């Protein structure tokens, strides 16, 4: 008499567990990104077939992701006490130039801050931008600048990008999330296996001609 | 008639506002004292100032700005500093874009450069330290050497061997221990700390390897020497921790892990140790500096994202000099920020400044330092 209910209870529990698993590890997306990360230099975790991180030892997907997707990690509060200021409120740190209200800087998106936090010349190859003190440009390609669609040699917003990765179909897709400014992630995808982590293989300058018209 | 007057008044008002806004931008703002922690507690860290490069000393006068006179010479300023060091009243900041070391002399009000000449030309200067003879050691990440100069920028020698265990693959942070005459160099790509003799520049030994266990590293970057006992603290950036070794490379202890709560790290970079053994760790993801005691207990953290005094935008290198001043290379703000640790010695030396801080009650304290 009671057995069907017990059976149903177990079934429900199993379903809930399964659903939770599915939510925390998106298989399709994660699989694709994971392949890209694992095969490239952005795989900071793996060394001689072992995963290195001391905090997340077993969980496979997170071990590849948490280097950059730090803010998504839930870290339970350890007993924190500021010995020099016991009254101070203990709270999470906002990461990569964001506050609770959102990003502070309009020009540099938090996603670019993630790139810059490692690519400083010491940890990883340096990203240089801006003008040097002598006035000459020292970077390879302008970044954090406004895409001027009315400029000569620059394609309009609605010109298509063919074969670009990551839902970039038109020029406007490169800048629409970043206040109209070019960011690192406009042309680079850290998860891809393309050379230089470009969003499209640059054969015949295909990537360049996505935006630049001759 | 009256309408005309109103019109004139309006025009004057608009012009007045325009002029006011122009002047307001150039007017030196009244600088509030910035220090941590907030008043009822004992003050510990005081903000002293920021240095950008030549424009700190070659500022155009207000008249020049008003008349729109062109600048005669473009001042050479920091673009993206990483390493920082200070001694003999000079602040040294290595710029990874301009590829020189800025020698900022706040008293003499001038800036000179190291590594811009053909002999000993720098490409990516990272770690910097100075010994008591005034020799400047600069680790160059791309040249795979530690260059030695004098304070005037004359190239002396290079440390680092072309082959074998003494070869540097990508040197980053360096630290000098004057008591045992050793130079500690962190090799990021080799995941080791390599130790050289200061006397003849010979390779002595290395410690660590890639891994996650105590005493092993994953992309370590910076290092500091505890001047009291010779211990070295290494920032193990991609293991998100700080490891402490004795002067011979024997592992002592570790603290920190990945996280976004106080006491954890996400991109730990610069490190420094003051005369009382407090460890300062700059974190580029949090844009702050966390302060620990020598056992690894969190004491306080300072700073947040921003552009004002005591606010950071991707802090990189950190250095604590012998007078307990803390120098932080604030890389994306293109400056070096200087703080003072208010030690007992400092309080005795400057009792009036200390009393001033104890009694200080600024109006907008809550705004400038978010509690």
ipTM (interface pTM)? 0.80
Are the CB atoms for B32 and B362 separated by under 8 Å? yes
DSSP B77: B
Reported as a single tens digit per residue, the pLDDT across A51-104 is 776 555 455 566 788 888 877 666 665 667 788 888 888 888 888 888 777 777
Task: Please tell me if residue B212 touches chain A, with a CB cutoff of 8 Å.
Answer: yes
Can you read off the two tokens belonging to residue A84?
């020099």
Sign of torsion over alpha carbons B2, B8, B12, B14: positive
pLDDT value at residue A87: 81
DSSP A162: -
Q: Which residues of chain B have pLDDT under 70?
A: 1-2, 13-31, 59-73, 362-371
HEC string of B135-163 equals CEEEEECCCCEEEEECCCCCEEEEECCCC
Predicted confidence (pLDDT) per residue in B30-56, tens digit? 557 888 888 788 899 999 999 999 888
Q: Do B79 and A132 touch (CB under 8 A)?
A: yes
From A127's Cα to the closest Cα of chain B, the distance in A is: 9
pLDDT score for B97: 86
More confident residue, A134 or B122: B122
pLDDT at B69: 62
Residues of B in contact with A81 (CB under 8 A): 298
Query: Which is more confident, B252 or A107?
Result: B252
Interface check for B263 against chain A (CB to CB < 8 A): the answer is: yes
Segment 7-26 of chain B within 8 Å of chain A by CB: none
What does the pLDDT read at residue B316? 94
Q: A-B interface: how many C-beta pairs under 8 angstroms?
A: 176
Please tell me which of the candidates A44, A82, A132 has its beta carbon nearest to residue B238. Answer: A44
Q: Which residues of chain B have a CB within 8 Å of the CB of A123?
A: 172, 188, 219, 221, 237-238
Beta strand pairing call for B203-207 and B192-197: antiparallel
Residues B337 and B309 sit within 8 Å (Cβ to Cβ): yes
Phi/psi for A203 (5° steps) reads -70, 130
| Cα–Cα separations (whole angstroms), residue B337 to A130, B152, B308, B340 | 21, 23, 10, 10
Beta carbons within 8 Å of A61's beta carbon, 6+ residues apart: A25, A30, A34
Residue A23's pLDDT is what?
Answer: 35
User: Which residues share a beta bridge with B241?
Assistant: B236
Which tokens is B253 given?
């202890």
Residues 301-360 of B with CB under 8 A from A: 301, 304-306, 313-314, 316, 331-332
The encoded tokens of residue A91 equal: 């709270």
3-state secondary structure of B111: strand
Q: Which of A96, A104, A121 to mutate to test the interface with B (most CBs of B within 10 A)?
A: A121
How confident is residue A22, by pLDDT bands cut at 50, 70 and 90?
very low
Cα separation, B146 vs B363, in Å, equals 48
Contact criterion met (CB < 8 Å) for A134 and B40: no
Which residues of chain A neighbour B82 with C-beta distances below 8 Å?
120-122
Give chain A's mean pLDDT: 77
Q: What is the pLDDT of residues A54-65, one digit of tens each?
A: 555 455 566 788
What is the structure's pLDDT at B137?
Answer: 96
| Chain B: closest CA distance from residue A175 (Å) | 22
Residues counted in chain B: 371
d(CA A210, CA A207): 5
User: Which pLDDT score is estimated for B58?
Assistant: 74
Cα Rg of chain B, angstroms: 23
**Interface membership of B259 toward A (CB under 8 Å):** yes
pLDDT of residue A133: 46
Q: Residue B195 and residue A161: Cα distance in Å, rounded?
A: 52
Contact B306, B313 (CB under 8 A): yes
What's the pLDDT score for residue B301? 92
Residue whose entry in the numeric block shows the structure tokens 């660590």: B208
Residue from A120, A136, A140, A184 to probe the interface with B (highest B Cβ count within 10 Å): A120
pLDDT at res. B19: 54
**Inter-chain residue contact B97 with A130, CB threshold 8 Å:** yes
Q: Inform me whether the pLDDT recorded for A13 exceeds 80.
A: no
Nearest residue to B215 via CA among B186, B196, B236: B236
Residues of A in contact with B80 (CB under 8 A): 120, 126, 128, 130
Q: What is the pLDDT of residues B86-127, one digit of tens each?
A: 999 999 999 998 889 999 999 999 999 999 888 989 989 999
> What is the distance between the alpha carbons of residues B26 and B264, in angstroms, rounded to a whole number?
40
8 Å CB contact of A82 and B262 = yes
- Within chain B, residue ranges assigned H as helices are 2-26, 62-67, 344-349, 351-359, 365-368
B256 and B242 in contact (C-beta within 8 Å)?
Answer: yes
The C-alpha atoms of residue A139 and residue A142 are separated, in whole angstroms, by 7
């Amino acid at each position: 008499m009671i057995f069907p209910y017990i059976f149903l209870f177990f079934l429900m529990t199993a379903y809930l567990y399964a659903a939770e698993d599915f939510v925390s590890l998106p298989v399709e997306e994660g699989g694709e990104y994971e392949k890209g990360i694992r095969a490239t230099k952005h795989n900071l975790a793996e060394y001689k077939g072992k995963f290195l991180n001391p905090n997340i030892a077993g969980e496979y997907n997170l071990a590849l992701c948490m280097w950059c997707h730090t803010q998504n990690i839930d870290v339970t509060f350890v007993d924190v006490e500021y010995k020099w200021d016991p009254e101070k409120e203990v709270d999470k740190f906002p990461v990569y130039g964001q506050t609770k209200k959102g990003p502070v800087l309009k020009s540099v998106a938090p996603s670019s801050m993630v790139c810059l936090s490692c690519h400083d010349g010491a940890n990883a190859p340096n990203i240089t931008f801006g003008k040097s003190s002598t006035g000459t440009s020292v970077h390879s390609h302008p970044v954090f600048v406004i895409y001027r669609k009315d400029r000569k040699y620059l394609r309009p917003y609605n010109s298509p990008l063919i074969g670009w990765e990551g839902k970039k179909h038109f020029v406007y897709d490169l800048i629409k999330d970043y206040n109209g400014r070019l960011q690192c992630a406009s042309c680079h995808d850290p998860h891809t296996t393309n050379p230089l982590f470009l969003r499209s293989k640059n054969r015949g300058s295909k990537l360049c001609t996505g935006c630049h018209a001759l | 008639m009256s309408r005309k007057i109103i019109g004139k008044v309006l025009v004057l008002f608009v012009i007045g506002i325009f002029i006011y806004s122009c002047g307001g931008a150039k007017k030196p703002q009244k600088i509030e004292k910035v220090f941590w922690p907030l008043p009822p507690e004992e003050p510990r860290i005081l903000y002293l100032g920021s240095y950008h490069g030549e424009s700190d000393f070659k500022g155009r006068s207000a008249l020049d700005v008003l008349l729109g006179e062109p600048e005669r010479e473009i001042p050479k300023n920091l673009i993206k500093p990483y390493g920082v060091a200070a001694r003999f009243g000079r602040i040294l900041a290595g710029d990874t874009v301009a590829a020189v070391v800025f020698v900022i002399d706040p008293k003499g009000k001038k800036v000179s450069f190291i590594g811009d000449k053909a002999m000993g030309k720098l490409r990516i200067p990272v770690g910097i330290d100075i010994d008591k003879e005034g020799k400047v050691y600069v680790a160059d990440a791309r040249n795979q050497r530690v260059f030695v100069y004098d304070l005037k920028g004359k190239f002396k020698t290079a440390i680092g061997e072309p082959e074998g265990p003494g070869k540097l693959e990508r040197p980053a942070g360096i630290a000098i221990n004057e008591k045992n005459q050793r130079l500690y160099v962190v090799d990021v790509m080799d995941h080791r700390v390599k130790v050289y003799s200061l006397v003849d520049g010979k390779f002595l030994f290395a410690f660590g390897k890639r891994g996650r266990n105590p005493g092993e590293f994953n992309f370590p970057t910076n290092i500091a020497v505890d001047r009291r006992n010779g211990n070295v603290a290494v920032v193990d950036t991609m293991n998100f921790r700080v490891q402490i070794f004795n002067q011979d490379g024997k592992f002592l202890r570790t603290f920190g892990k990945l996280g976004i709560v106080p006491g954890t790290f996400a991109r730990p970079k610069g490190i420094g140790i003051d005369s009382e053994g407090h460890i300062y760790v700059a974190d580029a993801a949090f844009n702050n500096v966390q302060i620990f005691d020598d056992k690894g207990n969190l004491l306080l953290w300072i700073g947040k994202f921003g552009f004002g005094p005591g606010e950071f935008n991707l802090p990189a290198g950190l250095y604590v000099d012998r007078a307990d001043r803390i120098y932080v290379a604030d890389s994306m703000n293109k400056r070096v920020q200087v703080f003072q640790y208010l030690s007992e010695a400092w309080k005795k030396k400057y009792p009036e400044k200390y009393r001033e801080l104890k009694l200080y009650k600024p109006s907008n304290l809550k705004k400038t330092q978010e509690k």
